[in-house]
Amino acid sequence: MRLILFVLLCTFTLPVIADVKKDSRFKDLELFNKILFLIENQYYRPVDRRKLIEGALKGMMNTLDPHSSFLDEEFYNKMEADTQGEFGGLGIEVTQKEGVLYIVTPIEDSPAYKAGLLSGDKIIEIDHESIVGMTLDEAMDKMKGKNGTKVTLGIKRNGSKKIKSFTITRSKIKVNPVKSQIVNDQYAWIRLTQFQNKASQYVENALKKIKKKTALKGIILDLRSNPGGRLQEAINLSSLFLKSGIVVSTKARDPKNETIHYVKKSGYKDLSTPIAVLINASSASASEIVAGALQDHKRALIMGTRSFGKGSVQNLAKVDSKRGVKLTIAQYLTPNNNRVQAIGIKPDIEILNLPQQWVEENKNSKAAIREKDLRNHLTSTIETKEEKELRLILQKERKKRRSSIPQKKKKLPFKKYSAKDDYQVLQAINFLSTATVLKK
């Protein structure tokens, strides 16, 4: 049986990398087989061989970037898209750094959002159990559950020494991805919370509705704390404001995995109204694709702070009928061939965070975690000259942001969010009001 297993492992791995010598791979697999033999025969109690092998595969994937993982039968069965606009859970986007779970952003109107969880919060415990030693997938699985059941998260918040417990009831989350308001009579504020199915259609409908009420002088497309979602919706949204050209392309080791996505020529378009796009450190993935496309085509002014920097492409591949692998196969490039991965989108005009109610709830510059901070992000093994220069720039930006934030913040009374009271939105309007001068 052991010999058969060894042969199967060799057969599975041989086609992966053609330029590696066969004898070298056989030696490495022989080492694996020897250790498996020792564990099975000398460990103090019987072991499950399948669990051992799956554990080894998970460990192997953990040496890659944080978005690549081995999916055992349980996880593979749960790999259903959460981008349909209706799903169960808490409603938080999380990532992992050095064994600690960080909340990238809570989805607006979700149970986590209503419970008061913030971007940058550290999840230390799940149901009073430490997350130390858990993989990202394992921690996410513990937070999932049947609708109506409760989970308690132990949260360590920046500036606080105590762990605060939040008990949250899981529910089926029906996300309305778009919120919109008319600001200062002639400016449309449209906030997209995530790129779920038909997200671009929601934005289009909101824009049409506002245009029926007023003659627009500008559009504020708010992508702050938007974690991303469907690539096709990013293309569709960009196509609302672009006439033609490239939206995004991918660069891969295998040319077969390289693609170019163009602007859709059909459908509703607004090609003339001045646009300001708001981003922050929690704007990721599809948000960065839209911001990068509109920036490179000079269709919009990008404002706020540098985005998260999640610019990699993952592919889900089945290895047998019950298990699979999620593997990073390419990186996104903006129309001007600028890389997004670990770099993010740099705003044309930087507007630092201010301690206002909405900012307090949704952003925390001092504790912001970006793609470049994650374990084994795609540039972590070999630092190029470009990446070294970027690292120094980001260090300066981080130092500047920290020095600009008050050390002690007063707790503000809660009030319903209004775009007209949002400092960054008002600054976007100030620039849009001079759009003609800027264009010249």
Distances (CA, A) of 256 to 14, 64, 396: 20, 21, 39
Asked, for residue 68, whether it belongs to a domain, the answer is: no
Asked if 379 and 362 sit in the same domain, the reply is yes
- Joined together, the tokens standing for residue 210 give 């506002």
The pLDDT of 415-438, averaged and rounded, is 80
- Measure the CA–CA gap between 192 and 199, rounded to whole angstroms: 8
Q: Quick one: what percent of the chain has pLDDT higher than 90?
A: 45
The tens digit of pLDDT for each residue in 375-426 reads 566 654 455 666 667 767 767 766 665 555 444 444 444 456 788 888 899 9
- Measure the CA–CA gap between 116 and 125, rounded to whole angstroms: 17
Q: Which residues are catalytic?
A: 285, 296, 310
Asked if 288 and 393 sit in the same domain, the reply is yes
Q: End of a domain among 114, 139, 174?
A: 174
* pTM for this predicted structure: 0.70
With vertex at residue 404, the alpha carbon angle to CA 402 and CA 405, rounded to the nearest 5 degrees, is 70
Rg from Cα positions in the chain:
24
Distances (CA, A) of 276 to 161, 331, 333, 357, 434: 38, 26, 21, 22, 12
The tens digit of pLDDT for each residue in 204-230 reads 999 999 999 999 999 999 999 898 988
Q: Within 163-320, where are the H helices?
A: 199-213, 231-241, 286-296
219: phi then psi, degrees, rounded to nearest 5: -125, 130
Asked if 317 and 191 sit in the same domain, the reply is yes
Asked if 266 and 306 sit in the same domain, the reply is yes
Residue 137 clears pLDDT 80, i.e. is over it: no
Spell 365-395 as b/e; 16+ CB within 10 A means b.
bebbbbbbbbbebbbeeeeeeebeebeeebe
Q: Which of 112, 164, 329, 308 lies closest to 228, judged by CA?
A: 308
Asked, for residue 222, whether it belongs to a domain, the answer is: yes
- Measure the CA–CA gap between 102 and 157, rounded to whole angstroms: 10
The tens digit of pLDDT for each residue in 327-368 reads 999 999 999 999 999 899 999 999 976 544 444 444 444 446
Written as one letter, the residue type at 323 is R
Asked, for residue 414, whether it belongs to a domain, the answer is: yes
CATH number reported for the structural domain that contains residue 287 in this entry: 3.90.226.10
Asked if 422 and 274 sit in the same domain, the reply is yes
Asked, for residue 56, whether it belongs to a domain, the answer is: no
Domain hosting 391: range is 178-439
CATH number reported for the structural domain that contains residue 139 in this entry: 2.30.42.10
Q: Which of 362, 27, 16 lies closest to 223, judged by CA?
A: 362
- Measure the CA–CA gap between 246 and 293, rounded to whole angstroms: 8
Asked if 170 and 312 sit in the same domain, the reply is no
Asked, for residue 53, whether it belongs to a domain, the answer is: no
* Confidence at residue 403, expressed as pLDDT on a 0 to 100 scale: 59
- Measure the CA–CA gap between 383 and 366, rounded to whole angstroms: 25
Asked, for residue 288, whether it belongs to a domain, the answer is: yes
Task: Answer yes or no: are the C-beta atoms of 145 and 151 closer than 8 Å.
Answer: yes
More confident residue, 186 or 372: 186
Asked if 166 and 183 sit in the same domain, the reply is no
Pick the range with the lowest mean pLDDT from 45-54, 228-237, 364-373: 364-373
Asked if 200 and 131 sit in the same domain, the reply is no
Asked if 139 and 199 sit in the same domain, the reply is no
Strands in 319-392 per DSSP E: 324-333, 349-350
Asked if 281 and 348 sit in the same domain, the reply is yes
Asked, for residue 62, whether it belongs to a domain, the answer is: no
Asked if 138 and 260 sit in the same domain, the reply is no
Q: End of a domain among 122, 153, 174?
A: 174
The tens digit of pLDDT for each residue in 86-95 reads 556 888 878 8
* Confidence at residue 67, expressed as pLDDT on a 0 to 100 scale: 84
Q: How far apart are the first and last CA of the chain?
A: 75
The tens digit of pLDDT for each residue in 141-192 reads 888 888 889 999 999 998 788 889 999 999 887 667 899 999 999 999 999 9
Asked if 276 and 182 sit in the same domain, the reply is yes
* Confidence at residue 365, expressed as pLDDT on a 0 to 100 scale: 41
Task: Answer yes or no: are the C-beta atoms of 227 and 290 closer than 8 Å.
Answer: no
Query: What secondary structure does DSSP assign to 290-312, as a single string?
Result: HHHHHHHTT-EEEEES------E
Asked, for residue 20, whether it belongs to a domain, the answer is: yes
Task: Give how many domains the chain has, as a whole number.
Answer: 3
